[in-house]
């Protein structure tokens, strides 16, 4: 009885100074002996398309050794298939599937009528994404090469759940210099972004609710918290940021103090001090989402709240806005009493953030490439912001623009009752953007404000002008 489903795994062999690897799955069954079975199996593999035209087959010696056959048996099978036109054999080129050996095609079927595909937006003005065409590919590749060349062997083993020390040391220096954060490498835990940080802190039981949040914020974060069983309590907002005087018996508060998301503007200095005082008096905690603190245009840098009291503030950041959301790297700067608990929640080994990417980002920071990229993009985004303000002043002077002193998006304040129609008009113009209502906490008693959230960083440079023109055409009249 012939063998069934014989695996022929040819790891490598040398033929005409060329190394070749091949993996053949052959069903050697049926009458006529092993030679006939091999011919049928190879012919069927070509006919069905599993061996495409031009595919190079293993030398007959190697295939014979793997199948446990005599060399002459395999050589004869090859020769017969060459004679039939299924294979070709040429000196120096080996045995290949013939180019004219077309696979058997299934009977033609009348295709079912597919539903019309929805057209995507022509203009992407969604918030939360940088200009992906501006990713610093050359500098990132140079850092990756240096990181790989200099990496010790132990890098390629199980990773430390706190993250590579090289990255934590680089972040310690950078955050102190650029954001006013006071920390040390041992208090930093690497994560894959802000949502991952929330899952580790609350889903892992390190922190518990209720958690105070700003009345306007990212709904996805509220969903992450709700999935962890955390009740969120909305804080009203005004021109000075979150009303931290409304904090009560919550255990902690989540803020975007450098640039309130999405309404814009920093938390007033008096309120920054007040929220730290509240945390000290209540034995509470401030979670600081520093999502785009590097990008400011018309004001001095606003330092991190964490610098006021490192034991009462968890500072959370990432590179999703400064570099790309595709680089899944973020960090938590923790009070000392939470470090062990977060590390234990994360696990014994790094299972989330690529160690090689961590080393690359460490080099990107220490080499100065990150600073250069941020400065370049700060200039580009400021130019985008200015073009938006100019276009609105010319074509829609009745629309107020806010939150433009920093960040990657602006808020266009609309007349009451016009937001829904404006979002629909934008969609009709092929524009993807959000209305302010999408970010409003469902339980807040804060009066609703009509507006559009315009991500001016998202389009590529050549696409930004047409997007602005379409946006102005979609705005409600005065």
Q: Tell whether 342 is covered by a domain.
A: yes
Identify whether residues 238 and 385 lie together within a single domain.
Answer: no
Q: Which domain holds residue 29?
A: 6-97
Strands 123-124 and 211-214, bridge-based pairing = unpaired
Q: Based on the structure, what is the number of domains in the chain?
A: 3
The per-residue pLDDT for range 72-87, each reduced to its tens digit, is: 888 888 888 888 888 8
Identify whether residues 274 and 391 lie together within a single domain.
Answer: no
Identify whether residues 423 and 312 lie together within a single domain.
Answer: no
Can you give the pTM of this predicted structure? 0.77
The per-residue pLDDT for range 225-279, each reduced to its tens digit, is: 999 999 999 999 999 999 999 998 899 999 999 999 999 889 999 999 999 999 9
Identify whether residues 360 and 412 lie together within a single domain.
Answer: no
Q: Which of 316, 337, 368 is the last residue of a domain?
A: 368
Range scoring the smallest mean pLDDT among 71-80, 368-377, 383-392, 445-454: 71-80
Q: Tell whether 106 is covered by a domain.
A: no
Identify whether residues 357 and 396 lie together within a single domain.
Answer: no
Identify whether residues 335 and 189 lie together within a single domain.
Answer: yes
Look at residue 443 and give its three-state secondary structure.
coil
pLDDT recorded at residue 22: 53
Contact 144/133 with Cβ under 8 angstroms? no
Range scoring the smallest mean pLDDT among 85-89, 90-94, 437-441: 90-94
Structure token pair of residue 75 = 């050589």
Q: E strands, 262-404, where?
A: 285-289, 313-318, 330-333, 400-402
pLDDT recorded at residue 179: 92
Identify whether residues 271 and 344 lie together within a single domain.
Answer: yes
Identify whether residues 293 and 412 lie together within a single domain.
Answer: no
Over range 178-203, report the average pLDDT. 94
Q: Tell whether 108 is covered by a domain.
A: no
Q: Is the bond leading into 74 cis (omega within 30 degrees of zero)?
A: no
Identify whether residues 262 and 303 lie together within a single domain.
Answer: yes
> Distance (Å, rounded) from C-alpha 107 to C-alpha 123?
43
User: Is the predicted pLDDT of residue 379 greater than 50, yes or no?
Assistant: yes
Q: Tell whether 352 is covered by a domain.
A: yes
Structure token pair of residue 63 = 């295939």
Q: Which of 309, 341, 368 is the last residue of a domain?
A: 368
Identify whether residues 181 and 299 lie together within a single domain.
Answer: yes
For residue 15, give the CATH number of its domain.
Answer: 1.10.10.10
The per-residue pLDDT for range 265-300, each reduced to its tens digit, is: 899 999 999 999 999 999 999 999 998 888 888 767
Q: Which of 442, 411, 433, 434 is nearest to 223 (CA)?
A: 442
Location of structure tokens 């446990």: 68
Which has more confidence, 107 or 37? 37
The per-residue pLDDT for range 389-411, each reduced to its tens digit, is: 999 999 999 999 998 888 899 99
Strands 6-15 and 18-26, bridge-based pairing = antiparallel
Mean pLDDT of the chain: 87
Structure token pair of residue 62 = 């190697």
Q: Tell whether 107 is covered by a domain.
A: no
Q: Tell whether 330 is covered by a domain.
A: yes
Q: Tell whether 1 is covered by a domain.
A: no
For residue 393, give the CATH number of its domain.
Answer: 3.90.1150.10
User: Is the predicted pLDDT of residue 219 greater than 70, yes or no?
Assistant: yes
Identify whether residues 352 and 454 lie together within a single domain.
Answer: no
User: Is the predicted pLDDT of residue 106 greater than 70, yes or no?
Assistant: no
Identify whether residues 394 and 351 lie together within a single domain.
Answer: no
Over range 309-336, report the average pLDDT. 96
> Distance (Å, rounded) from C-alpha 180 to C-alpha 184?
13
């Amino acid at each position: 009885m012939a063998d069934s489903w014989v695996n022929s795994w040819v790891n490598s062999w040398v033929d005409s100074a060329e190394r070749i690897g091949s993996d053949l799955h052959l069903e050697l069954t049926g009458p006529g002996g092993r030679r006939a079975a091999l011919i049928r199996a190879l012919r069927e593999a070509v006919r069905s398309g599993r061996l495409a035209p031009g595919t190079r087959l293993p030398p007959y010696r190697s295939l014979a050794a793997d199948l446990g056959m005599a060399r002459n048996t395999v050589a004869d099978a090859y020769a017969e298939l060459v004679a039939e036109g299924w294979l070709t054999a040429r000196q120096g080129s080996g045995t290949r599937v013939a180019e004219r050996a077309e696979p058997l095609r299934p009977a033609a079927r009348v295709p079912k009528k597919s539903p019309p595909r929805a057209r995507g937006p022509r203009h992407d003005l969604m918030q939360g994404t940088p200009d992906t065409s501006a990713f610093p590919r050359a500098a990132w590749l140079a850092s990756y090469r240096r990181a790989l060349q200099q990496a010790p062997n132990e890098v390629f083993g199980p990773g430390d759940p706190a993250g590579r020390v090289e990255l934590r040391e680089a972040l310690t220096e950078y955050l102190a210099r650029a954001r006013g954060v006071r920390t040390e490498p041992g208090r930093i835990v690497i994560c894959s972004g802000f949502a991952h940080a929330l899952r580790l802190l609350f889903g892992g039981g390190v922190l518990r609710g209720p958690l105070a949040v700003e009345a306007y914020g990212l709904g996805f974060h509220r969903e992450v918290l709700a999935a962890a069983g955390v009740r969120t309590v909305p804080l009203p907002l005004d021109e000075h940021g979150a009303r931290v005087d409304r904090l009560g018996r919550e255990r902690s508060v989540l803020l975007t103090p450098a640039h309130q998301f999405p309404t814009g503007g920093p938390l007033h200095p008096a309120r920054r001090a007040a929220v730290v005082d509240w945390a000290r008096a209540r034995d509470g905690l401030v979670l600081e989402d520093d999502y785009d603190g590097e990008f400011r245009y018309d004001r001095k840098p606003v330092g991190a709240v964490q610098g006021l009291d490192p034991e009462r503030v968890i500072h959370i950041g990432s590179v999703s806005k400064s570099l790309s959301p595709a680089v899944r790297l973020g960090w938590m700067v923790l009070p000392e009493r939470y470090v062990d608990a977060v590390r234990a929640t994360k696990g014994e080994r790094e299972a989330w953030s690529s160690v090689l990417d961590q080393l690359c980002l460490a080099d990107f920071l220490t080499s100065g490439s990150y600073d250069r990229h941020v400065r370049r993009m700060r200039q580009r985004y400021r130019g985008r912001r200015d073009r938006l303000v100019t276009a609105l002043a010319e074509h829609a002077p009745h629309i107020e623009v806010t939150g433009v002193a920093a960040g990657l998006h602006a808020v266009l304040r609309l007349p009451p009752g016009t937001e829904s129609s404006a979002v629909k008009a934008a969609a009709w113009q092929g524009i993807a953007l959000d209305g302010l209502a999408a970010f409003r906490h469902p339980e807040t008693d804060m009066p609703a404000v009509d507006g559009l959230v315009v991500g001016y960083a998202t389009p590529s440079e050549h696409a930004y002008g047409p997007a602005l023109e379409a946006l102005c055409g979609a705005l409600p009249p005065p």
